[in-house]
Amino acid sequence: MSFVITTPLYYVNDKPHLGSVYTTIICDSIARFKRLLGEDVIFITGVDEHGLKIQRTANEKGIDPKTHCDEISKIFDINWENWNISYDKFIRTSSKNHEKVVNEFYERVKQSDDIYMGVQKGWYCVGCEEFKDNPENSATYKCPIHQKNLEWKNEENLFFRLSKYQKQIEKIINDSTFIEPVERKNEIINFVSRGLKDFSISRTNVSWGIPVPDHDNHTFYVWFDALLGYVSAISSNAKECSLKNSILSGWPADIHLIGKDILRFHAVYWPAMLISAGMKVPKKVFGHGFLTREGQKMGKSLGNVLDPDLLLSKYGNDPVRWYLIKDISLGNDGDFQDKRFVDIINNDLANTIGNLLNRTSSMSRKWFENKVPNNEKISNENKLAHLAKISVESYLEKFNQYKLDLAANEVLSLAIKTNLYLNDNQPWMLIKKKDNLPIVKEIIYNVLESTRIIGLLLLPLLPELSSKINDQLGSIYKKEVQWEQQLKWGLLVGNSSLPKPYPIINKLEYE
């Protein structure tokens, strides 16, 4: 059985912004964590290329939509490589394979008698690609997400009988594990309790979309097409891209991680579409919060957009990952503050974790011939071994519950306690007396061993920093040994060489 995790499929109207980097980093950490636990992971990301928004963006640039999509999709792909994102599948919804899956799915839904022709009238946000529930003063109302006016639409469209699935959707969303966090679940329960309305799944005024097979001039509504990207991505390695092969290759998804603004699509429309097509619904939809900048919404008009490329080239991957994972509780909104960012990186990564490794390794090299001390008394009966055991257990529990901030805090807290242990025991004083050598060996061994465990715990969170810690401890992680086994105390081998230390993370300056 595979563990299937997905990011949203990002619109290609623009290059990736910090919000997309955020979701993708979180998914990447979860995917790495599950792989380390021995699961067969399928981590899906990709791009959502059709629809009016993309069509207009290309028109404004004076190029055809396909050329525009090729250009931006490439940027997304390169971007994820730069961020060291370990995705398994990258789906483009303009691909022929995907179109095939959409057509097959549509046929199934039609056979369930869930498609009919009707007239769609309403106020539409092109940014969201969504009809809004007739807000007050609709003509002057601005979508709070895109700050743009709504557009009036009145056209003949094909509809999907969502209303037929009222009872089944109520049951699914009331399940305690389907929607997280609970505030989001309650929003959806509220929305569904007002009664589900059928929604239109085709457009007549959008040429940049997948043509509906039996209706000239109709293309599929971009959301109907995009959600199926998850399904086509899974079967992309099979001989043939099809619903059957998707099911055989791992569908349903274990978790769709998305922003809170697109929850309705994933937690209501999508399950109903899948039931109609005789397919299983995803196991979980997690709606994370929004990122703001120094307390304000990020937006081009406000001039406060944080360019992820700049962040990456200026600070590197680990600092940005650490801030986004550790400082924001997944599910809540989070704020990116420059000063806080610098302080957190300097305190947590440079002073606490980096310094712990650097000073202990230096002492060990100086006193024990560039090696880990040969500690005869490796035992679990010491304070640090006990603390590490508790930290590891709690970290695993938190990570399994997708509380990544708390898992990251567990690692940090073990590093803080290890530093305290070192300071309390003062091996640099003890070493002055020859009789103290055994006890100094034990202290240094324990601290290095705890640092080894810290490095391992960082593997899914900060893979690059973790690998530097590994290098400095003499490349001790073993691919062939289960990761969880390696989290046990006492595996650092006495007398093994310690390479010359270098700072694993540079301190940042606040400008």
Give the C-alpha distances (Å, rounded to integers) separating 118 from 125, 258, 356: 20, 31, 67
Q: Does 11 bind ligand MSP (CB under 6 A)?
A: yes
CB of 26 vs ligand MSP, minimal distance in Å? 10
Tokens of 254: 């274990």
Instruction: Pick between residue 265 and residue 483 the one whose CB is nearest to ligand MSP.
Output: 265
Number of H helices, E strands in the chain: 21, 15
Q: Provide, rounded to whole angstroms, the least separation between the CB of residue 8 and ligand MSP.
A: 4
Instruction: Quote the CA–CA distance of 414 and 450 in Å, as a whole number.
Output: 8
Annotate each residue in 273-302 with x if it binds ligand MSP (CB under 6 A) or - if it does not, as one string: -----------------xx------x----
CB of 206 to ligand MSP, least distance (A): 15
Q: Which is nearer to ligand MSP, 48 or 410 (CB)?
A: 48
Of the two residues 20 and 276, which places its CB atom closer to ligand MSP in the complex? 20
Candidates 155-163, 256-264, 402-410, 469-477: pick the segment binding ligand MSP (CB under 6 A). Answer: 256-264
For the CB of residue 481, give the shortest distance to ligand MSP in the complex, in Å: 37
Tell me the C-alpha distance between 50 and 130, whole Å.
14
Q: Figure out which of the listed residues 122, 259, 474, 494 binds ligand MSP, where binding follows CB under 6 A.
A: 259
**b/e sequence 152-166, b meaning 16+ C-beta within 10 Å:** ebeeebbbbbbebbe
Q: How far is the CB of 227 from ligand MSP (least distance, A)?
A: 5
Nearer to ligand MSP, 28 or 48 (CB): 48
Structure token digits, residue 422 = 């070192």
Q: Is 260 helix (H, G, I), strand (E, B) or coil?
A: helix
Residues between 377 and 436 with contacts to ligand MSP, criterion CB under 6 A = none
Q: Which is nearer to ligand MSP, 31 or 385 (CB)?
A: 31
Instruction: Give the C-alpha separation, 35 to 24, whole Å.
Output: 16
191 contributes a contact to ligand MSP by CB under 6 A: no
Q: Which of residues 300-319 bind ligand MSP (CB under 6 A)?
A: none
Which of 3, 4, 5, 10 is close enough to bind ligand MSP by CB under 6 A?
Answer: 10
CB of 510 to ligand MSP, least distance (A): 23
Q: Is 226 in the site for ligand MSP (CB under 6 A)?
A: yes
Residue nearest to ligand MSP (CB): 259
Question: DSSP per residue over 149-190, as a string?
Answer: B-EEEEEEEEEE-GGGGHHHHHHHHHSTTTEESHHHHHHHHH
How many C-beta atoms lie closer than 10 Å to residue 491's C-beta? 16
Site track for ligand MSP across 17-56, x = CB under 6 A: --xx-xx------------------------x--------
Shortest distance, position 334 Cβ to ligand MSP, whole Å: 8
DSSP sequence for 358-380:
HHHHHHHHHHTTTB----TT--S
202-203 and 219-220 beta bridge pairing: antiparallel
In the numeric block, which tokens belong to residue 41?
Answer: 């992971």
Q: One-letter amino acid identity for 365?
A: R
Please state the separation of Cα 469 from the chain's center in Å.
Answer: 24
Angle between helices 404-425 and 18-36 (to 10 degrees): 70
Q: Judged by CB under 6 A, which stretch of 165-173, 198-206, 221-229, 478-486 contacts ligand MSP?
A: 221-229
What is the per-residue burial (b if ≥16 Cβ within 10 Å, else e) of 226-251?
Answer: bbbbbbbbbbbeeeebbbebbbebbb
- Told to check if 229 binds ligand MSP by CB under 6 A, we report yes
We find the least distance from the C-beta atom of residue 20 to ligand MSP, in angstroms, to be 5
Q: Which residues bind ligand MSP (CB under 6 A)?
A: 8-11, 19-20, 22-23, 48, 226-227, 229, 258-259, 261-262, 290-291, 298
